[in-house]
Structure 1
Amino acid sequence: MKLLINRDLLIKAMSLVVEASDSRHRMPILRNLKLTLTPNQLTLTASDLEVELTNHLVIGEGVCLEAGEMTLPAEKFFGICKLLPEEMVLVESDKTAQRCYISSGKGKYTLSTLPAHDFPSIGEPEGQQAIKVGLGALFSLIKHTRFAMATQDVRHYLTGLLLEIEAQNLTAVATDGHRLAVAHRVLDEDYAQTKVIIPGKAVGGLERLLLDLAKVSHEDDIVSLGFTEEFLYVTLNFAGEMVIHLTARLIEGKFPDYRRVLPVGHDKIAIFNKDEMVSVLRRISVLNTKDSPGVILSFNEPQVAQVSSNNREQDEAVEDLPVNFTGEAIEVSFNEAYLRAVLNVLEGDIRLEMVHPTSPTLIYQVGDDHAHQYIVMPMRV
C-alpha cells in the first residue's frame, strides 16, 4: 500500500474516527487504525468492538500510488501526522506488511503494523428500523441530556442514553440516580415504538460528529438512525467528501420508567434568571469541597432567595438572589455541580417546583413547553 496525501486532509479524516480506538485494549489490533486504499477512496476504521467508526474519504488522482490495506498504531500515527511540518505526507507499507513508513519533508518515521485481515468488524446492518431526524434536533437532544448519564455504575444501563420512539415523538432520557434529564422532539412522520439504550462512548462520539457536521451542513439536514436488536447504525455525509458510519453495540437492560419519576403536585414554585443563578453558584462554590459539595437555597420571601454554602472548615458564603416565589417557606440543599449542570443547558427564566426538602425537584425553562425537563434530588443537610 502506498499513499501520497495532503497532511491536513489526512488529519481531518482521522480526527473523525480515531477516538473509537482503544490504546489499552486487550486485543492489540484494536489499538490500531485500519487503512484501506483503492484508486478512488481511502477508508479509515477504528473500533473497540463496542463502537466502530468508519470514514470513507473520496480521493483524487495521484493520491493512491498502490492500493492495499494495513493497520497501524492509531495514537502514534495520529500524533506523528499532527506534528509533521510539510504539506504532503507519504504513507507506505513494506512488502512484508509488518512495517509502515511515514515520510514528510526531511522526516521519516517507521511504525509496526498488524495484518488488516485480522481487524474485526462489529457487524453489518441487517433488518434495521431507520428513523430520520434533523441534524440540529438530534444534536440538541444529546446536548440537553448527555451530562446526566452515569459514568460508572453497576447498573450498566444508566451509563447510556435512552432513545424512545413512539409515533412522531422522539425522547432522550439520561439519569445517574441523582438527577434525571428528559428531552423531547417531534419527528416528521410516524414510526413504530422503539426503545434503545445507546452506550456513553457512542453518545459522545455521535455528538462530536454532529458538531463537526454542522460546520459544513445546515441544521435542518437529515440524519438517519438505524436500529436492530443489538446495534445502532448512523450514517453522516460530510458534503460528499467524507461519509462517516458509526456502529454501536446497544446496552441490554431495562431503563427506569422516567414518567414515574417526574413529580406532580408541586405547591412551592420559584422562578429566577438562569444567568444570575449560575453567577451566584460559581461564587458560592469556591468554598465547596469533595466532602461538602452542597449549596442551600432558602425561599422565605416572595422576591428574594438566599443562596449559601459552608464547609467543614466552617467557612461560609451567603448571597441574595432575585426570585419570584410562591408557596410556604422551604429550604432545599442540592449538589452544586448537579444543579449548575442542569442550568448550563437552559436559557432565560428557570422554574423550580418543590414539595418537600427531601422530595425530587422539577426544573425546566419557562416558555419551553416542557420540551426539556430535569429532576435533581436534594441532599440531606
Structure 2
Amino acid sequence: MKFKTSRENLLMPLQQVVGVIEKRQTLPILSNVLIQLADNRLEFTGTDLEVQLVTHSVADSGEDGEITVPARKLLDICRLLPDGSLVNVECRPDKVTVHSGRSRFSLSTLPADNYPAFDISAPEAELTLSSKLLKKAMEKTLFAMALQDVRYYLNGLLLDLDGRLLRAVASDGHRLALFEEMLEDVEFEPRQVIVPRKGIMELYRLLSDQDEPVTLLFGANNISVLMGELSFSAKLIEGRFPDFRRVMPRDITKIVTLDRETFKAALTRVSVLTAEKIKGVSLEVKEGLMILQSQNPEHEEAEEEFEVHLEGEGLAVGFNTTYLLDALNNVDSEVVTLSFTDAGNSCLIEDPQNQKYKFIVMPMKL
C-alpha cells in the first residue's frame, strides 16, 4: 500500500481516532491505528475493544491496501510538519515510510489481519437528532458520573428514551444530574442504555455544537453514533440503572431562591478552609440570610453570609462544596432555587427559568 495526500487530510482523522486509543495496552496492536485505502478513500480505525472510532479522508493517489501504524507517533509527525505539506506514505515489509519535503520517517508496523474486530451487533432501533441537543444533554449530566465505582452501572451515563421524551441521567450515589427534552416528530419505544464513562467523554469531544443531524443506532450490547464521516461505537454497560424518579424530592416545604454568582463566589471562598478529603460546608438559612461555615482539622474557620429569599421555615444542613459548585456551574440563569423537604434528605437545585435541568445533591454530616 502507498498513497499521497496533504498533511491536513491525515492530521484531522488521526486527532479524532487517537482519543480512543489507550497509551498503555495489553495488546501492542491496540496502540496502532488501522489505515485502509480503497479507490483513493482512506479509512482510519482506532479501538480499545470497549470503544471504537472510524473516520475517513481522501488520498490524491495511491495503491489500495491496509496496514496498522503507531497512532501517536504518526500523529506527532503530522502535527509537526509545516502547514500544507504534501505527505507520501509507503508500506514495506514491517515498516512504513513517511516522506514530506526533506523529512523522512520510518515507523514499525503490524499486519492489518491481526487487528481485532470490534463486536457490533445488528441495530434494533434508530434515532436521529441534533448534535447540539445531544451534546447539551451530555454536558449537563456527565460531571455526575461515578469513577470506578463497584456499582458498575453508575460508571456511565443513562440515556432514557420514552415516546418523545429524551432523558440523560448520571449519578455517583452522592449526587444526580438529570436532563430532559421533548423531541419533535419522533415517537420512540421505551428503551434505556448505559454508555460507559470513556465512551461518553469521547463522544462529547467529537460532537459538534451546531444543529447537525447525528444518528444513534441501538444494538443489543452496543450503541453506534454516525456523524458525517465519523462512526463512533461503544459497548454498553450491562445492568439496570437505579430508578432516578424515586430520588426526586416530593412534598417540598422549603425553597431558597438566590443569586447564582453570589452563591458560587461565597462557596468558593469558604471552601478554602474545608478538610481536603471531605470538602464539607454547613449551610444555614434563616430570616432572609444564608450563612456558610467551614472548618478544617487545624481548627481554622471561615464564615460568609448573604441575602436570599426563603419560602418556608429555616434550615441547617451540610454539603460537599464540590458537588454544589458542579451543579451551579451547569445552571444557565442568574437565579437558582434550592428545594428541600421536611426530612431534609436531599437538595433539588433548579434553574427557575428552565425546568429541563435538575440536580440533586445529598447532604452530609459535619
**Is the 2:53–2:231 Cα contact (8 Å) retained in structure 1?**
yes
Q: Secondary structure at the match of 2:3?
A: strand
Distance apart, 1:16 and its partner CA = 1.5
Compute the TM-score of the two structures, normalised by the length of structure 2: 0.95
* Cα distance in structure 1, aligned partners of 2:328 and 2:270: 15
Flag the 1:209–1:157 CA change in 2: closer, same or farther, 3 A. same
Name segments (4+ residues, structure 1) moved above 3 Å.
Answer: none
The answer to whether residue 84 in structure 2 is matched with residue 87 in structure 1 is yes
Other-structure match for 2:291:
306
Q: Is 1:119 paired with 2:105?
A: no
Q: 2-side partners of 1:101 and 1:47: how far apart?
A: 23
Query: What does residue range 275-294 of structure 1 map to in structure 2 within 5 Å?
Result: 275-294=261-280
2:217 counterpart residue number: 226
Equivalent residue, structure 2, for 1:319:
304
Shift of 1:91: 4.5
Q: Post-superposition shift, 1:87?
A: 3.2
RMSD (Å), alpha carbons: 1.7
Q: Deviations over 1:344-380 (max 9, x none)?
A: 1112211111135851111111121x31111101110
**Which stretch has the larger CA shift, 150-159 or 1-10?**
1-10
1:137 aligns with 2:133: yes
TM (normalized to structure 1)?
0.91
Does residue 51 of structure 1 match 2:51? yes
1:50 deviates by 0.6
Q: Distance in 2 between matches of 1:118 and 1:335?
A: 49
Cα distance in 2, alignment partners of residues 247 and 361 from structure 1 = 36
Partner of 2:17: 17
1:354 corresponds in structure 2 to 340
Q: Name the structure 2 match of 1:342.
A: 327
Number of the residue aligned with 1:31: 31
> Counterpart in 2 of 1:240?
none
Q: Which range moves more in the overlay, 272-281 or 101-110?
A: 101-110
Separation (CA, whole Å) in 2 of partners of 1:94 and 1:269: 67
2:293 & 2:352 partners in 1: Cα distance?
A: 24
Instruction: Determine the structure 2 residue equivalent to 1:173.
Output: 169
SS of the residue 1:77 aligns to: helix
Taking a change above 3 Å as real, the CA distance of residues 128 and 151 of structure 1, as seen in their structure-2 partners, is: same
Residues 145-224 of structure 1 aligned to structure 2 (within 5 Å): 145-188=141-184, 189-210=186-207, 213-214=208-209, 218-219=210-211, 221-224=212-215
Question: Percent same amino acid among aligned pairs?
Answer: 35
Aligned length: 364
Aligned partner of residue 26 in structure 1, secondary structure: coil
Q: Give deviations 1:108-155, integer Å, cap 9, x for gaps.
A: 222111111211221345243001222221111000110000011111
Which stretch shows the higher mean deviation, 329-338 or 282-291? 282-291
Partner letter of residue 373 of structure 1? K
1:36 partner SS: strand
Does the aligned pair in 2 maintain the 1:46–1:52 contact within 8 Å? yes
**Aligned CA distance change for structure 1 residues 292 and 111 (closer, same or farther; 3 Å):** same
Q: Deviations over 1:158-199 (max 9, x none)?
A: 011111111101111100000001111111211111111111
User: Which stretches in structure 1 are left out of the alignment for 5+ residues?
Assistant: 238-242
Matches of 1:319 and 1:87 in 2, distance apart?
A: 56
Assess if the C-alpha contact under 8 Å between 1:352 and 1:363 holds in 2.
yes
Shift, 1:292, TM fit? 4.1
Q: What SS does the aligned partner of 1:17 have?
A: helix
Matched, 1:333 2:324: no
Structure 1 residues 89 and 100: CA distance shift in structure 2, 3 A: farther
Are the structure 2 counterparts of residues 168 and 310 from structure 1 closer, same or farther at C-alpha, using a change threshold of 3 Å?
same
Provide the C-alpha distance between the structure 1 equivalents of 2:306 and 2:343, rounded to a whole number of angstroms.
Answer: 19
- SS of structure 2 residue aligned to 1:9: helix
